[in-house]
Structures are given as C-alpha cells and as structure tokens.
C-alpha cells in the first residue's frame, strides 16, 4: 500500500511539527505500507525550512497563499500515491483513527473516508456531515456534543470534512481533485458530493477520537462566505435532504 499524507500549512511552525509527529506515529502503526508526508508551505513568512520539519518531509512552497484546494492538488501531483490522506495542520492524528480509515476503504471499496474529530474539551467537532433543506445546507452532525455519548457505528454520509480525509488515489484523479474555484471552504463537501454522484462510498471512521483544534490558521470573520455562495450556486437542490436535521 502506498500513501501520501498532505498537510497544507501557513505559519504556526510548532503546531505543524506536532501534527507531523502524530502523523508519523500513526503511519508507523500500519504494516506493509510505503508512505510520505508532503507539507505545502502556503506563503509562510518566514518560510518553513525542510530540515526543521523533521526527517524525510517533502516540502512544496507557494510564495503567496493559495486556496486549500490548490495546495492539496499540488501536493498530490508532487507525490502521486494509491491513497491520499489530507490533514489540517491543527489535527493530531491518532494511530487507531488511521487504521480504522484504511480498513473502511478496504472493506467498502474506492471512495472517501473522514474521521471523528474532537475538540480539546472532548466534544465532537466532526463525525460526519448532514444536509438541511434550509439556508444552513451542510452541517457537522453532533457538533459540540460530548463524544462519549455519540454513537460510534461507521455510517455512510453524503460528505465529510477535509480536515482529515482519506481518499483512494484513482478516485481522486477521476474526480480531478479538489475544485480550485473554491477560495476557502466547501471544496471538501463539493468533492464528496461529486464522488457520491459516481457511486463512490463516503464514510466516517468513528472508533477513535482524533484531536482537532479547528480553524487555528484562519479565524477571519466570514472566511467561508465566498465559497459558501459558490457552493449553493452549484449544489442547491442537488443534494439529498437528510431526514434528521436536529443536529
């Protein structure tokens, strides 16, 4: 098995190093796998130095910040693989989470698998995305609930977050990667919906909790506004309204 871990990042070098260390620990827990970690320096000032990130880290640099979609696609072109794991720099991946994600794709076939992510207070940040028929549209189910009371059965969804997303390499190529028209946000939801149109499973690994600090790199108000408008222009009326939209 061949896996490329892609971590787009800007600034926050200490957090990035911690993210890389957790990713490498998770990779070491998987037998018979060839892997690489590609960091996309998305316009950091000062720029990252490869030697400071750790041994064996591939570094791709943009002099000016680009979109998450552009950063991920460029890293995938830099190091093609049978599977890609896209990871935010503020996600501390648990080994059990990676094992669970890989196992689900092995069992369900080529597609996409997200992960249960928790905040520092042990509440759910993400365990799958549902869709509301109103202006809310896609939303994270069970967000803010204690993880200990949220069911852990692996469930198929229409979409999962790109903060920790495993995808089959051939599927990613067939979909043309993330749509680079999205400036910030919703490119992950768009990718999942396009995968679903082609019959690919979209899953979420629930057995283990992985820590996500959420929006550490970008806390600007309305940072998702432009991407949100684009998403609804393209997808309004084309996704399935989920039956239970209470959470």
Largest CA distance in the chain: 50
Would you place residue 247 in the very low, low, confident or very high pLDDT band (cuts 50, 70, 90)? low
Mean pLDDT is lowest, of 149-163, 193-207, 219-233, for 219-233
pLDDT at 221 over 70: no
Give the rounded percent of residues in the chain with a pLDDT score beyond 90: 83
Residue 246, pLDDT score? 52
Residue 237, pLDDT score? 86
pLDDT at 216 over 70: no
Residue 242, pLDDT score? 87
Would you place residue 30 in the very low, low, confident or very high pLDDT band (cuts 50, 70, 90)? very high
Q: What is the model's pTM?
A: 0.94
Is residue 113 within 8 A of residue 205, CB to CB? The reply is yes
Q: How many helices (H) and strands (E) does the chain have?
A: 7, 12
Q: Is 178 helix (H, G, I), strand (E, B) or coil?
A: coil
Torsion angles phi and psi, residue 186, rounded to 5: 70, -10
Query: Position of tokens 């967000």?
Result: 143
Question: What would the mean pLDDT of 177-183 be, rounded to a whole number?
Answer: 96
Cβ partners under 8 Å of residue 190, min gap 6 = 178, 179, 182, 231, 234, 235
The CATH class of 2-235 is alpha beta
Residue 70, pLDDT score? 97
Cβ partners under 8 Å of residue 83, min gap 6 = 1, 2, 3, 4, 102, 105, 166, 167, 168, 169
Mean pLDDT is lowest, of 105-109, 221-225, 227-231, for 221-225
Would you place residue 54 in the very low, low, confident or very high pLDDT band (cuts 50, 70, 90)? confident
pLDDT at 245 over 80: no
Neighbours of 12 (CB within 10 A): 16
Would you place residue 219 in the very low, low, confident or very high pLDDT band (cuts 50, 70, 90)? low
Residue 155, pLDDT score? 83
Residue 140, pLDDT score? 95
Would you place residue 217 in the very low, low, confident or very high pLDDT band (cuts 50, 70, 90)? low
Per-domain residue ranges for the chain?
Answer: 2-235
Mean pLDDT of the chain: 93
pLDDT at 55 over 90: no
Is residue 165 within 8 A of residue 212, CB to CB? The reply is no
């Amino acid at each position: 098995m061949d896996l490329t871990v892609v971590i787009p990042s800007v600034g926050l070098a200490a957090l990035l190093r911690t993210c890389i260390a957790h990713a490498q620990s998770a990779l070491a827990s998987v037998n018979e796998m060839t892997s690489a970690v590609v960091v996309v320096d998305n316009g950091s000032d000062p720029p990252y130095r490869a030697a400071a990130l750790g041994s064996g880290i591939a570094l791709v640099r943009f002099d000016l910040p680009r979109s998450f979609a552009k950063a991920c696609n460029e890293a995938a072109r830099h190091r093609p693989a049978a599977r890609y794991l896209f990871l935010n720099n503020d996600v501390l991946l648990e080994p059990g989470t990676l094992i669970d994600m890989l196992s689900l794709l092995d069992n369900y076939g080529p597609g996409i698998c997200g992960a249960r992510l928790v905040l520092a207070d042990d509440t759910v940040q993400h365990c799958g995305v549902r869709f509301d028929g109103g202006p809310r549209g896609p939303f994270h189910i069970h967000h803010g609930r204690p993880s200990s009371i949220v069911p852990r059965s692996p469930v198929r969804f229409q979409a999962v977050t790109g903060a920790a997303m495993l995808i089959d390499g051939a599927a990613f190529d067939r979909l043309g990667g993330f749509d680079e028209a999205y400036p910030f946000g919703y490119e992950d939801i768009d990718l999942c919906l396009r995968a679903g149109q082609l019959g690919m499973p979209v899953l979420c690994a629930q057995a283990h909790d992985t820590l996500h600090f959420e929006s550490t790199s970008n806390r600007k108000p309305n940072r998702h506004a432009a991407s949100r408008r684009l998403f609804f222009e393209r997808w309004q009326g084309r996704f399935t309204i989920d039956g239970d939209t209470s959470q």
